[in-house]
Structures are given as structure tokens and as C-alpha cells.
A and B are shown apart, each in its own frame.
Chain A
């Protein structure tokens, strides 16, 4: 079983959900992103999702777009992402990578899988790669024993949902809302239904993302899902802060609040 699978099993035994925290690689700088992710782990984030910044992130809202732009303007490269994965994995927390497909295709699919595995990464979340187009990734992830997290959506038909889940390994990513990433004042009513549809076809853990920004929302999602995925709200701590130190302090505070939230699932 993958390291992520172990984390989900342990949380399940403790009667709580896993907290997955997302941060773009190289935001605000390569070293700064390592410091931020390390702080998140120390404050209670269970799994770190490192997003490879991409010039055209169509699934992401304004916060992640802005952070990605800052990272790219700073000159971050795909190989820097691997260095960040390695550094954060050294904390002991499982590190999964989230990426649009083109950067991986240009790096070389098998080469990236090999290097990600060597860096200690657990696998990939692929927001714009559906299993229908994923032959090369299916082979590479098998060869290098990496997890595959494809997304399911409220609009997925039963047949597509089953097919998508069948190709997943590690955990399934359920997109809670029809829309892009970004914290919302209310979490989605479609998400519980989607999670139960996934549960009907798999024993894999289900993470819910898109829209979670507070401890209370994390508790709500933890009530029906195995994992709570938070990105924009954490990133905003750094974007809104006057300097890096206060940004990391705010990041610790929110991480701790979310970690508390996933330990108090509202059922």
C-alpha cells in the first residue's frame, strides 16, 4: 500500500479525515515554498499536495492562478518541483503532486514518473488528464509504483465514474462543485452525493476538494469524506501577508484550525 493509503487508514482508525494541503511549487520562491509546506506539516496537515505551476491552469481560480504566476515569474522549473517534493517528503508526510498534463508530457512521462518516485513522491493528481487519454501515464505509474488520482465530478455519469475510479490508485479526488478552485462561503451540497456514488464502486479513500477554507467547513466535509483538500485558503495566507514570516504564521494558524476541523467530523 502507498504511503497515502497508510495515512488514510490511520485516520480512518482514529475516526477522522485526512487533511490534504495544497501549495504551488516555487511560490513565493523555491525555498519559501519548502518552508511553507514544512510549516503546514508541523501544524497538522497530513498530506502535502505540491502543484506544478502552469501557464494556463483552467481548473484553477484566481488565488492559485496568481500564486502560479508568481512562481513562474520567479523562474521555477519542473525539476525544482522534484527538489521540493524531496525536501517536503523528508518531513515524513506523504507528498503527492498535482499537475496539468503538458509539463509532464514535455518532461517525458516515464522520466517524470521515475524521478518523482526517486524524490519520494507518492503519485499524481491530474486535473486535465482523464483515463481515456492516460495510456502512457498508466504504464509509467505502474512501472514506478506511483499512485494515480483522477478527478470525478458531480456531472460524471455512473459509467464514467466507475471507469475513472477503476483507474485510480491511492485515493479518488471528488470535485465538490462544478467550478474552479477557490474558497467559498458554503461548501457544496452536491459533494456528499458524489462521495456516496464513489463509495458504491470502490473501497479507495475519497478526498473532497474545491471550496473548503475554514475549520468548520473541514469538519463538515470530514463528516462524509475520507480526505479534505484545501488549497486556495492556505495560499491566500501567503498572498495576503505583508511579509513572508507573517504569511507563514498565518499559514500555521489556518493549518491548525483545519487540522482541528478534520478531527471533529460533523456527522
Chain B
């Protein structure tokens, strides 16, 4: 390890400010009825993070139940294709198969600390719903998951998983019947039942303190990866990459590196059919500043501020907003956000399957595809092979049907 590399991750930024703003983003655009609950949550979060017994309990759960720290794996055969040394942060190996378990365990602990007995959650593909139902079972909490009716049909297996774990799944039939409408319905439930209920939000979005709180619970990804990279290579990586929907996995891995100016941060948004077609979910690249779901951030919207439906092959990235800290990291230039199309993501999906024997979540395949795109430029800039840490945020078991249809291998089997 070279002497000028700090051995520990810096407490990178003082953001957000006391009222939850990341620059001009974030804040609280909520009904007054929720302010008391958000204040209570903020206070619980603040005291919990300062409480060594809370941190110890959270740490033990992450280790003994979730299976972290996750591995940092040198993907040699994928690296050869990428022209970079690619280190995969294997969040796909966590219990429930994604980084999300970190967030739900942290928030379940907070729920108990606040003396609440019921959690509600929104879910798109069902991954956050399954993770929430898992934590609710473990902590003996009542659990209600709101899921767009369209998504309950697309993801019937995850609906069954949530029910097996004891959760009630409520199909949402309003609006576009997808993730954003599930989020609206969860907010409505929360307004009505806020005394006994915690809204266990699934990403680093929403009103203050959610973006900071979720980031704090998932930041272990980056803290671990930073140390693992130093141990493995003797230096920090040249770049860290992740996919960005709401953005929790990306913030989770970025946060530890924000204070390392030589480490480039890349967030890859879901470009769908291509940002130029209008059918995408790239809120930063293809959206504009606005207010959605309690925070000011980048939003896919029309000229009147009506939210526009997003499109992506990845249900987990199919959201018309993004966490406000990403909006701020974009504006300050600290992180770079680029779109990756469905086709590019699926090509990278296939490449990882064939070179490494790892089936990634389609969300994570966006990070892999983006890495393939930026690696040559990095190599040219540095004049050597770059080292890139990629957040492999989830496993692809849930996507086998989608991928099977995409590659036409289900049909082949039927026709055989």
C-alpha cells in the first residue's frame, strides 16, 4: 500500500445539511401530517448511529444473518473482455440475493427502537418487498407490501415469496399500476397509520431523513470494498461503478470513496430503448429537476410537472426519479451518470454468465455494461490497465424468465 493512500474511508461529506438538503436537492415535500413521524425517525436514526449497542447489533445481524462482508472477487475472464482489472463486489451472495438486505435489517432495527409494530413497503419487481417481508418475519413485525398490479402479474413468484414469509401483498390499481403508484399508496397508508407504522422505504429516495438513513445502512458495501481493494491490490481502484435506479446500491458503494478524489465514480442509469426514444428510466441523463415522492431531485416529467412513465427491462431500475444525493453528486461533478440501454445490459448479462459462471441481476448487468463502455477511456487516460470495482448488487435468479424470453432460449426449448 502506498503511503499516501488513506487506510480508512473518510467521513466523506457533511451532506445533507440539518434540514436534509443535498445542495438544492432533497428536503421534505410532504404533508404536514408526516412531519412529526419524519422528525421521530430522524431522531431515532441519529441516536441509533451514535449508540454502540445499536451498531453492534446491526453489525452482528449483517455478519451472522445476511452473510456480509460480501466477497470482492477478481473476475479474470470478464476482465480480459473488458480491458480492465474488474473486481466484483458480490452483494448477490447476501441473504435474499441483493444489497437490499442491509437496508431492511437496519430499518427493522430502527422500527423496533421506535416501538412500532408494523412496517409497510413499496416494491417494483418484488425484491425490496421480499427483503422487507424477510426482516419483518425475523423481527416479528406485521408487514404490508404495496405492489403495482402490473408488477404483481409480471412477478408472481415474488408475490408468493412475500406471502410465504407472512406479508400481506396489496396490488395497487391506481395510476400506471407500477412502482411509483405503489409508493404513492404506501405514503397514503403511512399518513393514515403513522402512529404504529414505519414506512420501510426501499431506496435512498423520499423525504429527509430517508436518503441519508438508507445510505448509512448500505454504506458498508463501499467501506468493505475499499478495504478489500487495498488488501487485494495495495491501492485504491481507479473507478467504482454501479447501476442507479433509486440509487441505494450505488450510494452504498460510492459513499466510502467520495473523499478519494482519484477514484472516479460512475452511475449507470437504465437507458431502456435509448434515451433519445423517450422510453427509458434515466432520470438524471434524460430528466429535469422537480419534486417527486417527497424530495427535489431529477424526475422524468412533462412540461406541466406530471410524472412520465419510465421504461426499462430491469424492473428494479424502472422508476421515474432518483435519490437526491445522486442529483447532487451529478451537479457537483463528483460522480458521472451515463445511460445503458436494455440491449447493452443484456449483452453484459450474457457475458458475465459465460465468462464467470455468475448470473447477475439485470439491474447489476447495467453496471457491468457501463463498465465495459468506460474501461477503454479509463485505460487511455491512465496509460495502463485500470482497476474497476463493480457493485454486483444482486443475483439474477429472479430474472431468469425475463432473460430467457429476451434471448429466445425458452422458445427453443419448447420447440425442441
A residues with CB within 8 A of B: 54-59, 61-62, 65, 69, 72, 77-78, 101-107, 127-130, 132-133, 150-157, 160, 164, 175, 177-180
- In the bound complex, do residue A106 and residue B184 qualify as a contact, i.e. CB atoms below 8 Å apart? no
Tell me the total A-B contact number using a CB cutoff of 8 A: 115
Q: Using CB atoms, name the residue of chain A closest to B173.
A: A62
List 7 contacting pairs A-B, 8 Å CB cutoff, sorted by A.
A59-B31, A59-B191, A105-B290, A106-B301, A106-B304, A156-B35, A178-B193
| Known contacts A58-B187, A179-B192; is-contact A153 B32 (Cβ 8 Å) | yes
CB pair B184 A178 closer than 8 Å: no
Contact B291 A55 (CB under 8 A): no
Q: For residue B193, which residue of chain A has the nearest CB?
A: A178
With A58-B187, A132-B28, A133-B28 already in contact, the answer to whether A155 and B305 are too (CB < 8 A) is no
Q: What's the Cα separation between A107 and B294 when bound, in Å?
A: 19
Distance between Cα atoms of A60 and B27 in the complex (Å): 21
With most chain A CB atoms within 10 A of its CB, the pick from B31, B36, B290 is: B31
Q: B61 at the A/B interface (Cβ < 8 Å)?
A: no
Chain B min CB distance to A232 (Å): 14
Q: Would B27 and A133 count as touching, CB distance under 8 A? A: yes
Report chain B residues within 8 Å CB of A154.
Answer: 33
B174 adjacent to A150 (CB under 8 Å): no
Whether the pair A153, B290 counts as a contact (CB closer than 8 A) is no
Complexed CA–CA distance, A82 and B180 (Å): 28
Chain A neighbourhood of B293, CB < 8 A: 56, 58
**CB closest residue in chain A, given B185:** A58
How far, in angstroms, from A164 to B35 measured CA to CA in the complex?
12
Which interface residue of A56, A62, A175 has the most chain B CB atoms within 10 A? Answer: A56
CB distance from B197 to the nearest CB of A (A): 11
Residues of the A chain whose Cβ atoms lie less than 8 Å from the Cβ of B230: none
Q: Mark B269-304, 1 if CB is under 8 A from A, else 0.
A: 000000000000000000000111110000101011
B180-191 near A? 1/0 per residue, CB < 8 Å: 110010011001
Q: Which of A107, A155, A156 has most chain B Cβ within 10 Å?
A: A155
**Beta-carbon contact of A133 and B29 below 8 Å:** yes
For the complex of A and B, 6 pairs with smallest distance between CB atoms: A106-B305, A179-B192, A153-B33, A102-B305, A103-B305, A155-B36
A77 to B302, CA, bound (A): 10
State the CA gap A215–B305 with chains docked (Å): 36
Q: A61-B188, A178-B191 are known contacts. Are A103 and B31 too (CB-CB below 8 A)?
A: no
- Contact surface of B with A, Cβ cutoff 8 Å: 19, 27-37, 174-175, 180-181, 184, 187-188, 191-195, 290-294, 299, 301, 303-307
Measured in the bound complex, the distance between the Cα atoms of B294 and A180 in whole Å is 16
Which residues of chain B have C-beta atoms less than 8 A from A61's C-beta?
Answer: 188
Q: Are A156 and B184 within 8 A (Cβ)?
A: no
- Using A102-B301, A107-B304 as known contacts, say yes or no to A178 and B30 having CB atoms under 8 A apart: no
Q: CB within 8 A of A106: which of B28, B175, B303?
A: B303
Contact A130 B191 (CB under 8 A): no
- Bound-state CA distance A105–B289 (Å) is 9
> Is B184 a contact of A56 with CB atoms below 8 Å?
yes
Q: Are A127 and B31 within 8 A (Cβ)?
A: yes
- Neighbouring B residues of A107 by C-beta, 8 Å: 304-305
Chain B contacts for A62, CB-based, 8 A? 174
* Residue in B28, B33, B34, B37 whose Cβ sees the most chain A Cβ within 10 Å: B33
* Beta-carbon contact of B291 and A54 below 8 Å: no
**Residues of B contacting A103 in the complex (Cβ-Cβ under 8 angstroms):** 304-306
If A129-B29, A151-B33 are given as contacts, then 9 extra A-B residue pairs at C-beta distance below 8 Å, sorted by A number, are A55-B306, A72-B306, A102-B292, A132-B27, A153-B32, A153-B35, A175-B31, A178-B193, A178-B194
Q: Given A69-B175, A178-B194, does the pair A56, B188 have CB atoms closer than 8 Å?
A: no
Among A58, A127, A133, the residue within 8 A (CB) of B188 is A58
